[in-house]
Amino acid sequence: MRYAFKIGDELVKVAPRSLADELVLNIGDKDCRVVFEHGKEGRCTLSLDGKNYESWVARDGDDIYIKMSGRYFKVTAFDPRAAAAGASVAAGAISAPMPGVVVEVLVAEGDEVVEGAKLLTIESMKLQSTVRAACDGVVGRIHVSAGSEFNKDDVLVEIESND
């Protein structure tokens, strides 16, 4: 079975190759041996193909935040079936994945956008991420502005689909 994760703005496909004696994951197109040891207060050791990384991990709902080698990563498990189901409930409504603050609004109402276009930059837990269009369409309504705070699941932007 294949899984998909968003790491920053990149979608990465992961598939387990071996779960017996050691964990081997196919990440992108490369097989990696993975060892993950939890410590106290979010501290952990991650070993990829024998190279050890001191890291810290925090979780917020479906999102996992990782600090490793002086860099910060947001990892989100992505289930296309769940996304499709959610899209049918509120077609074109893009909701906040976590609480945070708007750093920058990158579009205006009436702008035409394509699927994957950058709409907003948001910040949560001192990490910035990009909110992207889920479909081709026209920006119908923007519910936030730069500096405004929002809660998880608040509607940030509505896209009127071209379908």
Q: What is the pLDDT of residues 132-162, one digit of tens each?
A: 888 889 999 999 999 999 888 889 999 988 7
Domain boundaries, the chain: 3-78, 90-161
The verdict on pTM exceeding 0.75 is: no
Q: Does domain 90-161 have CATH number 3.20.20.70?
A: no
- % residues pLDDT > 90 (the chain): 20
Instruction: Give the per-residue pLDDT at 107.
Output: 95
Provide CB contacts within 8 A for 122, sequence distance 6+. Answer: 96, 100, 101, 102, 103, 128, 129, 130, 131, 150, 156
State the Rg of the chain over Cα: 18
Instruction: Give the per-residue pLDDT at 106.
Output: 95
**CATH dotted code for 3-78:** 3.30.700.30
